[in-house]
Structure 1
Amino acid sequence: MQRQAETIGKRWDYCAKGYDAIVQNEFAGEVAEKWSGLLKEHAPCEKGSVLDIGTGPGFFAVLMGQMGWKVTGIDCSGKMVETASENAKKAGVSAEFYQMDNHQLDFPDESFDYIICRNVTWILYDPLRALEEWKRVLKPGGRVLYFDANWHMTGDEAYREAIKRDEEEYRRLYGEPENTYTGDADTDEEFDKVLYFKEVLRPEWDEIHLPELGYEKIQVIPRVNEQVYSEEKKLLYRSIPMFLVRADKPEE
């Protein structure tokens, strides 16, 4: 398990600078306000303790801190943790950040009211274990909210062709899409091998397995692209829907 976490962390170390550039643009524009609205709308309470899993450069962590929550962020990449800490300080937000495997959390049972993450669950190597662990650290009645898409999924020919068409139109209008990865091919190949969801369609998978893990009050929104993306990204990711999944840990 440690080896898989290290493989994923190493890959995302190479993305920290590029992802930070994206996040800085989000902070500066209207996208941050859109995300804050969604995080607030789906929160289980007005304020409390929140865990941002796969915090990356700390985008969600900063937004939640600005809303008055007690914030903890984790990431398997040490460089992402460093970047998130710097961004929180710049924003005047008090938050704690740790390098940690998303599947094995170093927190006591029932530590958090709210768990949030964006574009993280697709990189899980054992999602059932991870989601069980997340439920463990939630307080009774606590909530997990995550946003993701079928990133890196092979899909069928029609799916691949649709993505290709979107990318070509994007290039024609806006130039080359951002590529945040700056590492070597071997690291990226090793990362690709540990991806559980590479051939698994979601959020159908989540709708099946979250109840089995003991979550309740499950809500799935299959597409939120139009709510959270800039005009450019609405085009680039037109054929890759970002979905929302919300689920609660039962009250005692």
Structure 2
Amino acid sequence: MQTVTTFSNHDLRDEIKAYWSVRAATFDSQPGHEIFSEAERTAWHALLRRHLGEGDGREALDLACGTAVVSHLLDDLDFRVTGMDWAEPMLERARAKASARGRTIRFLMGDAENTMELDDSYDVITNRHLVWTLVDPLAAFREWHRLLRPGGRLLIVDGDFVNPGLVARLARRVSRWLTSAGNAQNGPSAEVLAETHQSILSRVYFSGGARAEAVVALLRQAGFDRITVDTDMRAIHRTQKKNFGFLKGLERATQHRYAICAEKSATG
């Protein structure tokens, strides 16, 4: 008798895409994702200006744009923005947000590690909280280098979310205890998402933590130079603090978070 064996064609990238598709429904309700005050918006604008300058009509690609928070910040600074994400539910919200603001932002579905865009297409590439999820960051960085025009800049905003300090570890333990003790109505779905997040994190390239120095080493290998690491995120964190609970705010303030700016040589 013949037997039929079922195989799965899903890989880690599929799991990551599915995870963020689910997260889209609540993404803009969470501090640290969406912007909840003009003071926070101003702090983000200052970070972008510090590393990228004013847009002046330059072409910017916001990779893994999600619901387009950073895309709108770039648009505010007069960049001509393309937002790319591979989760359609995220893009649906991104398009709706741009429509509500009356802004012209181009949105594409695509893979940040293989964009299918033309060589030398952009003056600026940005991403926030993308690098820690990459399966093959060196290939991704080479792809981003290819997309930039000579003299173009890449800005990465990310962090090490694997190796928290002592204060952050204690805050997480207390937070988990409080959730299990008194917040059961949202427990099951939150627990499932947390387990999925942890499963993904354990299998990506930076499973040991996306430390800035490790990211910089790969950027250099991909051909970038004039690389700067900016760990002064205090202005942004101060404005976010009022929207976080005490424990979450404490965790965020003690994490290794950074902005890395890298350039493509003016000679290509």
Alignment of 1:248 onto 2:263: yes
Q: Report the TM-score when normalising by structure 2.
A: 0.79
Cα distance in 2 between the residues matched to 1:162 and 1:31:
24
- For 1:164-183, what per-residue CA distance to the aligned partner results, in whole angstroms no more than 9, with x for missing partners? 33346889xxx98x999686
What SS does the corresponding residue of 2:107 show, helix, strand or coil? strand
Q: How much has 1:53 moved relative to structure 2?
A: 0.7
Alignment of structure 1 residues 30-109 onto 2, 5 Å: 30-43=39-52, 46-47=55-56, 48-109=58-119
Alignment of structure 1 residues 165-244 onto 2, 5 Å: 165-167=170-172, 187-188=196-197, 191-221=200-230, 223-229=231-237, 230-232=240-242, 233=244, 234-244=249-259
Preserved contact between residue 44 and residue 114 of structure 1 (Cα < 8 Å): no
Correspondent of 1:117 among 127, 132, 144: 127
Cα distance in 1 between the residues matched to 2:97 and 2:140:
26
Q: Report the TM-score when normalising by structure 1.
A: 0.84
Question: Could you tell me the percent identity over the aligned residues?
Answer: 25
Q: How much has 1:241 moved relative to structure 2?
A: 2.3
What SS does the corresponding residue of 1:238 show, helix, strand or coil? helix
Cα distance in 2 between the residues matched to 1:170 and 1:194:
25
Q: How many residues align?
A: 244
Correspondent of 2:138 among 110, 128, 134: 128
Preserved contact between residue 166 and residue 237 of structure 1 (Cα < 8 Å): no
Cα distance in 1 between the residues matched to 2:119 and 2:129:
25
- For 1:60-110, what per-residue CA distance to the aligned partner results, in whole angstroms no more than 9, with x for missing partners? 111111222111011121111111111111122111112211100121000
Q: How much has 1:125 moved relative to structure 2?
A: 0.6
Choose 1 or 2 for highest CA Rg: 2
Q: How much has 1:142 moved relative to structure 2?
A: 0.3
Which moves more between the two structures, 185-194 or 100-109?
A: 185-194
Which moves more between the two structures, 142-151 or 75-84?
A: 75-84
Preserved contact between residue 51 and residue 112 of structure 1 (Cα < 8 Å): yes
Q: How much has 1:114 moved relative to structure 2?
A: 0.3
The equivalent of 1:4 in structure 2 is: 12
Cα distance in 2 between the residues matched to 1:97 and 1:82:
10
Query: Unaligned stretches of 5+ in structure 2?
Result: 1-8, 177-181
The equivalent of 2:26 in structure 1 is: 18
Q: How much has 1:149 moved relative to structure 2?
A: 0.8
Cα distance in 2 between the residues matched to 1:14 and 1:203:
28
Q: How much has 1:3 moved relative to structure 2?
A: 3.5
- For 1:129-171, what per-residue CA distance to the aligned partner results, in whole angstroms no more than 9, with x for missing partners? 00110010000100000110112x2x3xxx4643133346889
Q: 1:227 is aligned with what amino acid?
A: A
Q: Structure 1 pair 167/2, CA: closer, same or farther in 2 (3 Å)?
A: closer
Cα distance in 1 between the residues matched to 2:10 and 2:75:
30
Preserved contact between residue 44 and residue 143 of structure 1 (Cα < 8 Å): no
Cα distance in 2 between the residues matched to 1:185 and 1:219:
32
Q: Structure 1 pair 9/203, CA: closer, same or farther in 2 (3 Å)?
A: same
Query: Unaligned stretches of 5+ in structure 1?
Result: none
Q: How much has 1:41 moved relative to structure 2?
A: 2.1
Q: How much has 1:12 moved relative to structure 2?
A: 0.5
Preserved contact between residue 134 and residue 205 of structure 2 (Cα < 8 Å): yes
Q: How much has 1:236 moved relative to structure 2?
A: 3.1
